[in-house]
Amino acid sequence: DFRPRGAREVRQAGHAFLEMKRRIERNMEQRTTMLNGVSHDLRTILTRFKLSLVFLEQTPEVEDLKRDVDEMSRMLEGYLAFARGEGGDAGEQAVETDLRQLLEEVQSDAERQGHVTELEIVGDPMITVRPDAFRRLLFNLVGNAARHGDQIEITANHETRWLVLHVDDDGPGIPSEMREEVFKPFVRLDEARNQDEGGSGLGLAIARDVARSHGGDIVLGDSPLGGLRATVRLPA
């Protein structure tokens, strides 16, 4: 109901702000409509692909196609979550969550992919986080380690009111001068560790968004295994 009043310059500034507000609202509405349409249409097509593959003879080639479709689904969800600004799962309530259960899930997933994965938890395994968002953070970090290394170590310490979690791998690592750059969406590194290889290039960006939405952060460093160490620190 605001109506600009006062001197001409003040009225002009007020009208400019109102027009800017209308443009932002139109942009947000169009963006939401587009994302909903893209989400629905692409998920429908991927579902049809999956159903068609079920009825084919289960040859090694079909198994490869299934993995490709699954990868497309994961990439789509990553793109949409990032585009909506939902890396931190805004709206999800923080609840007491069993950290051990979450970490055993990601450990099992990495081991199914053929990676030797060790897990160690020190202190209280119960933490207060938004579980879906934090699960996404864990799968993104461990998935990144699995993509570039053979051996993975996950260690978590919750002896204080802060949770400190390390994900280590024995891959090629990331040069120190590039460790902040890789948190930016779609950043490409050299062939030794290309963020877009086998993924959307959004994993670390979304993981940091989740950590910061919990009041914490993620930093990258050198791993004792010789590769990269991702360290998550957040109040829990």
Listed by start position, the domains of the chain span: 8-84, 95-235
Note whether 130 and 183 are within 8 A (CB): no
**What is the reported pLDDT for 86?**
54
103-156 residue pLDDT tens: 999 999 899 888 999 999 999 999 999 988 899 899 989 988 998 899 999 999
CATH number of 95-235: 3.30.565.10
pTM over 0.85: no
How far apart are the C-alpha atoms of 178 and 194, rounded to whole Å? 12
198-218 residue pLDDT tens: 455 678 888 998 999 899 999
**What is the reported pLDDT for 192?**
43
Which position has the token pair 């009111």?
Answer: 161
**What is the reported pLDDT for 200?**
55
CATH number of 8-84: 1.10.287
User: How would you classify the pairing of strands 151-158 and 162-169?
Assistant: antiparallel
**What is the reported pLDDT for 235?**
93
Percent of the chain residues topping a pLDDT of 90: 35
Look at residue 31 and give its three-state secondary structure.
Answer: helix
